[in-house]
Amino acid sequence: PNVLTRTQHWLGRSAWYDHGYFHGTIAKLKVWHNKELTESEVMALDNAIPCVAGTFGSFYPDCAPCPVGTYSESSGSVVCTSCPSGKTHFLSTSSLASDCSHDSVHSWNFMGCSDGVPVVDETEGSDLKATARNGATCSTEGMVFDGVNDWVDLDDWLWGGATSFEVYVRYNGFND
């Protein structure tokens, strides 16, 4: 089908019981539904050094992507500018006001989350939650998975069509 409601939104766990668990850290997950990123948009996702348009902070390592719904048009920006009312953008590195659109985005930032507290979708008006299960823990770097039996459960939502994912991961192993 073109549109479906997924019943298992798990990070760090396979849907098959014998396929194991991820061992590492996920800093951030972003899902674009009804949007297939172009090659240039995918290439723009890597915004580490130096601080470029679409990020804020004066220089690495203090660079951070502009949050959903904001943008920065020049290198070295110390703050991001909010999109016009009722609009948002689809890249965490949005660098132009014209990037703001009505595309639906869901974004969970696991960096600095609190153990035992679900992480809420950063998208304005959304109450979708990401809940750590079976021992996944929070750290300043993101959600930490032990590779044994923990995962994150994302609330169910209706989605379909072209879909793109942006995930920042530090991979330690799978089924160590």
**What integer is the mean pLDDT of 126-152?**
91
Q: Does residue 37 or residue 3 have the better pLDDT? A: 37
Q: How far is CA 165 from the centre of its chain?
A: 8
Phi and psi at 61, nearest 5°, equal -95, 15
Q: What is the pTM of this model?
A: 0.50
Q: Is the pLDDT of residue 47 over 50?
A: no
The predicted structure's pLDDT at residue 120 = 94
Q: Is the pLDDT of residue 167 over 80?
A: yes
pLDDT tens digits along 8-39: 777 887 777 677 787 877 777 777 767 777 77
Give the integer Cα–Cα distance in Å for 91 and 108.
14
The predicted structure's pLDDT at residue 41 = 73
pLDDT tier, 56 (very low <50, low <70, confident <90, very high otherwise): confident
Query: Residue 93: which of 112, 110, 74 has the closest Cα?
Result: 74
Contact 113, 119 (CB under 8 A): yes
pLDDT tier, 57 (very low <50, low <70, confident <90, very high otherwise): confident
pLDDT tier, 2 (very low <50, low <70, confident <90, very high otherwise): low
Beta bridge partners of 107: 30
Q: Is the pLDDT of residue 48 over 60?
A: no
Contact 105, 91 (CB under 8 A): no
Give every CB contact of residue 72 below 8 A, 6+ residues apart in sequence. 53, 54, 55, 56, 66, 79, 80, 81, 94, 95
